[in-house]
Structure 1
Amino acid sequence: MEKKYVTKAHYLLHGGDYNPDQWLDYPEILEQDLELMEEASANAFSVGIFAWSTLEPEEGTYQFEWLDKILDDLAAKGSKVLLATPSGARPAWLSQKYPEVLRVNERRQKMLHGGRHNHCFTSPVYREKTQKMNRLLAERYKDHPALLMWHVSNEYSGDCHCDLCQEAFRDWLKERYHHHLAELNHAWWGPFWSHTFSDWSQIESPSPIGESAVHGLNLDWHRFVTHQTIDFYRNEIAPLREVTPDVPVTTNFMADGNDLKPFQSLDYSKFAKEVDVISWDAYPAWHNDWESTAELAMKVGFIDDLYRSLKNQPFLLLESTPSGVNWHPVNKAKRPGMHQLSAMQMVAHGADSIMYFQWRKSRGSSEKFHGAVVDHDGDKENRVFQDVKQVGETLAGLAEVAGSLRPAKVALVYDWENNWALNHAQGYSRETKRYPQTVQEHYRPFWEQDIPVDVITKEHDFSKYEVVILPMLYLMDEATIDRITDYVEQGGTVVTTYISGIVDEHDLAYLGGWPAALQEVFGVSPLETDTYYPNDRNAVTYQDKTYEVNDYATILSLTGAEVLGNYEADFYAGTRAVTRHSYGKGQAYFIGARLEADFQRDFYAALIEERAIESVLPVTHGRGVSVQGRQVDEGTYIVFLMNFAEEKQTVVIEAEVTDYQTKESISGEVSLQPYEVKIVSHVKK
């Protein structure tokens, strides 16, 4: 079975962000780092991410000698380097001499020097300066034995509203709308509130975006920000591609918020096409007081599966913390066992690395209390360092996992543009639309039943899956409708829900009711959607059980579908809420209401059984345990039994497996302590 190695290393990477530029006046610290790296089985480091002022302290004056020594020392220890381009934070001289590089916020206020990630992506000066620096790095280190890949900038984010960006936005719109202002005015529904434009120069970015009533403008601004960020990134990597064409490039993606959902500011489905390797920075708020550890682990698994599926290959965990962070509302330390468990969850879902921010805690400024492998005491005996050492030793023994995949028969569709459009929609409820969380709710039953899932975009190939689920896909263009139709016609099973197929790619409502093609496929026509106050109550009866309705209930007219569930109350009591329709060789399900989690569990359990979809390993266990695996050879899986519950759990293994470390055969009951993970090898017959 062919493996997809995302780096030139055929083993799992372990290490993290290393910032020796902060410690050049402390040679004893740099010496100690090399010893501790070896102790922790660390083999890869991102170097130079914020080192611009050290590399170029004055314009045109370069100091690379310190970086030469760092890379030489790491290479001598057998370590690899993800060499960073330093555009994420500018030196002060650049901001002072070239103020156009400073970002302008949505209220048209120029930002001052300070912080990071606050540069203008359109600025010709900033593009010139970053490209020059990157060329110098590429030419100097192209043949260095430590160079493994390029870490391009850091956590791209944000937008700029300066005059340069306004002009670039107008140019982008001209291309998008074929230089026809009438086409743009129609797409943005210009006559509403007299927002018709008579000249391109009248168009500017929404300010602030949350207050703009022109939803087409809002949506296109989001698209432009993604385009312009990617365009800046392409400018950055041009010399890297030219000088080091065989060295892969990545940039680190992120997640959003304490409730851990995909990062919203950029469309990563577009950005993924531009990188060789998907990598992301994961900082779950473990041990918080608003959800269980298992609930949070489910969300982590969802984002892992989304970012892995973007390129259908392993990803890199480029940043994580072995302890706590410094930016959560409450920065709680990881409990004993959690670091090993959370690291193995990443590997189980497709990570080929466990990397940290950062290797050594900064002595000053905003990240001096951010978790790190090496604390201010420099003590290798402290708990955090020992936890990292344990992970390093485990990863060293899992080399055969590198490059392996997670075959899945179930796909969930996640769409960034849909989320932008739905968030701006002035309808339904401001507080409960919650599109990313809704998709995660449909992911939960599969995670709980240990069924591998690909979280894909609407552009992916549906045909390889037994089941495709498109929850709350409010924005659905005709191309997506056609792909759904073809998929079901050819024998696929599709599931969609309330508030789906409402608008086209311009956020314009479909006329004449629900699109005719969707009515044909699903055998229903949504008539209206009732939005609930928190205290409103209703229920749906499905398969002789009753489930509570929350937030939304769509009233349906049948056009051929079979009724599986009905509403119990209100003026639509007794009408259909859940339906199934045969179309072509396949089936299409419509779930009309947002229902409690037990409905999703029961609904998808029946679908899993009907479609004969199997977990990676036949097991039974309670909630809080997750069993995930990667296929390392034809029929052979490395499986991770993980207990995210706060209490001891029993897993019953209904097949013979081999303990990956002891090589002993195991079957029957296996006990897992809280936060314990056990790794086994399983040959699927």
Structure 2
Amino acid sequence: MINSNKPKIWYGGDYNPDQWEKPVWDEDLRMFKLAGIDVATLNVFAWANNQPNEETYEFGWLDEVMDKLHGDGVGVCLATSTAAHPAWMAKKYPDVLRVDFDGRKRKFGGRHNSCSNSPTYRKYSALMAEKLAERYKNHPALLIWHVSNEYSGYCYCDNCADGFRVWLQERYGSIETVNRVWNASFWGHTFYDWDEIVPPNSLSEEWRGWNGRTATNFQGISLDYCRFQSDSLLECYKLEYAALKKHTPDIPVTTNLMGAFKELDYHKWAKHLDVVSWDNYPSLDTPHSYTAMMHDLMRGLKEGQPFMLMEQTPSQQNWQPYNSLKRPGVMRLWSYQAVARGADTVMFFQLRRSIGACEKYHGAVIEHVGHENTRVFRECAELGSELYKLSDSLLDSRVKAKVAILFDWDNWWAVELSSGPTIALKYVEELHKYYDSLYRANIAVDVIGVDADLSGYDLVLAPVMYMVKPGVAERLERYVENGGSFITTYFSGIVNENDIVTLGGYPGELRKLLGIWSEEIDALLPTQSNQIVMNSSAGWLKESYGCGMLCDLIHSEGAEVVAAYGEDFYKGMPALTVNRFGAGNAWYVATSPEAGFLQEWLPKLCASRGIKPLVASASVGIETSVREKDGVSYLFVLNHNAEVSEVSLGEQSGVDLLTDKSLSGNIELPGRDLRIIKLDA
């Protein structure tokens, strides 16, 4: 429980007093109190202030701010300042500068501009973390450490090339093994010595293909370079983590993640975070179910433990193509969406809006006008008052689900590095189609890794499980054999962990479990489609549904054919199958179906497994979630619509924590409003 020394939902955000004169600090504290702000994230990009040269460290300004905040009852999430190296470092030690995808050496500028394999960066970033830990280890304002900020960015310099070769030696042991797992005999790519291996970029194996997506000649080397770069950045984090823990073993440490961020394998990272934190920046038109899925993904990184909402904007963003204002009520609603799905904090970027550079138009609790008489500040203050009222009632409660979706970064990289079968296949979008159908049905879902324990789930989905890692097929077989229900789709079971095809027919290692084999995979043009025609015995509301993008041409090897294709030369071949396996069953969806199919099929399948919706019925645009603690359930009902919408609680009843009103039966929610209902036992 991260909130033990401040037992309520933390409320605050990024604060940059080093960008302002001291008289502003006192005004900030006055307004923090009005808004209910009780946590401030400090020092995120202050390395240049803290270390003006190689020998000198200056923390006087930070001492003063820490003391002021503590004196006013505001705790500190203290960042290590290492997200952007200072100019003197880049000038004196050019190894700290990255080389980009096109082989160009970067100059000083921007942020996240440090090479993760630079000895200079690793030395001085860890030293900065240690200096901070030594200085503030006993400061009463310190609540949690925030290492760097939004780690990202690959590098292709000589240090990275050397590091990659060492990483490969540790992973594979010999150059012969590397040649085998990469299928290096293709195109005469056999390596004779380690120093012949170079990073895959536009100078060697890769290029920017359709829609800016990276394409590669050799999936094996590119896949391993993704793993290596993710591990390299993680190593930088771990060095700072160790320095902090050396002096503050009882203070939690985190770094802010970014949802489905492709560059980093967050399942690996989460093992080294005391608490997961992440930054949530949906657009005005981002589907609410997608944001919900990102919260569930972040919650699933540490087996359902509560997470931190580290950043969101109070009003608008500055870096999207169209930076819309959050409409009245939306900031509050989206804050509670995070809480509903496991957040124990609500924090913003930023508390006071910057006056210059690229984030001066990014929203803040305190706007450029500088006073509290703004719509945004009033909404923030109202939310702060509500969070104070909720106190610790929700802290450390858990979201429990009987349905899980498997999410795998290695699989994501491999799917989208693959040459073919279609540029339209986007891994996260395909997962979201399935998630969205369950979200609309008000069915709770966990988003977990392929190594997670499956025994607590009645239904497990793995859309586009292209890569099957060692032991995964056996674990899935045991899960289904013991009574579980499993769903996977087209383009699954194709390759092993090195992106080498499993011979003997698709879906490879999943063939026995699914009771099918796939002969060919047809890629449809965007203008083409096919039909999923249901068997008359299936009892569906419709006889057929549209499908497209990819169509597997499969044969049953014991699986029941539930639906067939309706068109083209493979008309009549299976499009949906189910295989009885032990006490459970395994489904195969051989194509990408229209949304209507999933919205009808998945709730029916859940009902057959005894998985119930969280409410009896709800209007479109209603979101539900339940958090549980000490035998008490808290039902969140959020209305994303601008107009009044209805929800039927069925036999459930309880008291709304925000209004203290008793609720039961059918309830109406005003537009962009919510209820947090403590359910009766």
TM surpasses 0.5: yes
Structure 1 residues 572-598: Cα deviation after superposition (integer angstroms, max 9, x where no partner): 112211111111111111111110111
Q: How does 1:274-673 map to 2 (within 5 A)?
A: 274-286=272-284, 288=285, 296-311=287-302, 312-398=304-390, 399-430=392-423, 432-514=424-506, 517-542=509-534, 543=538, 544=540, 545=542, 546-616=544-614, 618-634=615-631, 636-654=632-650, 655-673=652-670
In structure 1, the partner of 2:104 is: 109
Aligned to 1:244: 248
Q: Note the residue ranges of structure 2 that are not aligned, 5 or more in a row.
A: 207-213
- The one-letter code matched in structure 2 to 1:551 is M
For 1:148-187, list aligned pairs within 5 A: 148-178=143-173, 180-187=174-181
Q: Is the 8 A contact 1:121 1:228 kept in 2?
A: yes
Of 268, 271, 291, 1:270 maps to 268
Secondary structure of 1:308's match? helix
1:679 to partner: Cα distance: 2.0
Change (3 A) 1:6 1:235: same
8 Å contact from structure 1 (residues 649, 673) kept in 2: yes
Distance in 2 of aligned mates of 1:493 and 1:8: 42
- Deviation per CA, 1:315-345, whole angstroms, max 9, x where unpaired? 0010100100110101110001101111110
What is the SS of the residue equivalent to 1:549?
strand
- Deviation of 1:5 (Å): 4.5
Cα distance per residue 1:467-514 (max 9 Å; x no partner): 110000101123111111111111111111100000000100111113
Q: What's 1:36 paired with?
A: 31
- Quote the Cα distance in structure 2 between the aligned partners of 1:276 and 1:442: 30
Instruction: Tell me if structure 2 keeps the 8 A contact 1:6–1:315.
Output: no
Whole-Å Cα distance in 1 between the matches of residues 275 and 110 of structure 2? 27
> Is the contact between residue 6 and residue 277 of structure 1 (CA under 8 Å) also seen in structure 2?
no
Q: Do the aligned partners of 2:354 and 2:360 also contact (CA within 8 Å) in 1? A: yes
Deviation at 1:615, TM superposition (A): 3.1
Paired with 2:305 and 2:483, the residues of 1 have a C-alpha distance of 26
The one-letter amino acid paired with 1:314 is: P
Q: What is the identity, as a one-letter code, of the residue corresponding to 1:58?
A: N
SS in 2 for 1:397: helix
Deviation at 1:518, TM superposition (A): 2.1
Residue 15, structure 1, aligned to residue 9, structure 2 = no
Residue aligned with 2:315, SS: coil
Distance 1:194 1:265 in 2: 29
Counterpart in 1 of 2:182?
Answer: 188
- Partners in 1 of 2:5 and 2:439 — Cα distance? 31
Question: Which secondary structure state, in structure 2, belongs to the residue aligned with residue 370 of structure 1?
Answer: coil
Could you tell me which amino acid in structure 2 is paired with residue 333 of structure 1?
L
CA contact (8 A) 2:658 2:675 kept: no
Q: Distance in 2 between matches of 1:243 and 1:87?
A: 18
Given that 1:6 and 1:314 are in contact with CA atoms closer than 8 Å, whether structure 2 keeps it comes out as: no
Q: In structure 2, what is the Cα distance between the partners aligned to 1:161 and 1:489?
A: 46
Secondary structure of residue in 2 paired with 1:171: helix
Match of 1:254 in 2: 258
- State whether residues 7 and 149 of structure 1, in contact with CA within 8 Å, keep that contact through their aligned partners in structure 2: no
8 Å contact 2:349–2:364 — kept in the other structure?
A: yes
2: CA distance between counterparts of 1:168 and 1:79?
Answer: 42
Partner Cα distance (1:575, 1:212) in 2:
33
Question: Which residue of the partner structure matches residue 61 of structure 1?
Answer: 56
Where in structure 2 are the equivalents of 1:669-680 lying within 5 Å?
Answer: 669-680=666-677
> Which residue of the partner structure matches residue 74 of structure 2?
79
Q: How many residues align?
A: 662
The CA deviation at 1:632 is: 2.5
For residues 583 and 182 of structure 1, what CA distance do their matches in structure 2 show?
A: 39
Equivalent pair of 1:341/1:676 in contact (CA under 8 Å)? yes
For residues 376 and 85 of structure 1, the distance between their equivalents in structure 2, rounded to whole angstroms, comes to 27
Per the TM alignment, residue 52 of structure 1 is displaced from its structure 2 partner at its CA by 1.1
Q: What is the CA deviation profile of residues 202-223 of structure 1, one whole-angstrom value per residue up to 9, with x for unaligned ones? A: 1011012335301100000000
Give deviations 1:234-267, integer Å, cap 9, x for gaps. Answer: 1122210111111110000014xxxxxx100111
Q: Does residue 129 of structure 1 match 2:124?
A: yes
Q: Compared with structure 1, are the counterparts of its residues 5 and 493 closer, same or farther at alpha carbon in structure 2 (3 Å cutoff)?
A: farther
* TM-score, normalisation: structure 1: 0.95
Choose 158-167 or 649-658, whichever is displaced more: 649-658
Tell me the alpha carbon deviations over residues 406-440 of structure 1, each in whole angstroms, 9 at most, x when there is no partner: 0111100011111111111111111x111101101
Whole-Å separation in 2 of the counterparts to 1:638 and 1:540: 40
Between the aligned partners of 2:626 and 2:374, the Cα distance in structure 1 is 31
Matched position secondary structure for 1:274: coil
Give percent identity, aligned residues only: 39
| Partner of residue 230 from structure 1, selected from 223, 227, 234 | 234
Contact 2:15 2:42 in 1 (8 A): yes
Shift of 1:161: 1.2
Aligned to 2:503, the other structure's residue is in SS state coil
Paired position in structure 2 for 1:258? none
After TM superposition, the score normalised by the length of structure 2 is 0.95
In 2, Cα distance between equivalents of 1:278 and 1:462 = 21
Q: Is the 8 A contact 2:483 2:585 kept in 1?
A: yes
Deviation, 1:43, is 0.8
Q: Is it true that 1:70 corresponds to 2:62 in the alignment?
A: no
CA contact (8 A) 1:7 1:248 kept: no
The Cα shift of 1:231 comes to 0.9
- Superposition RMSD in Å: 1.4
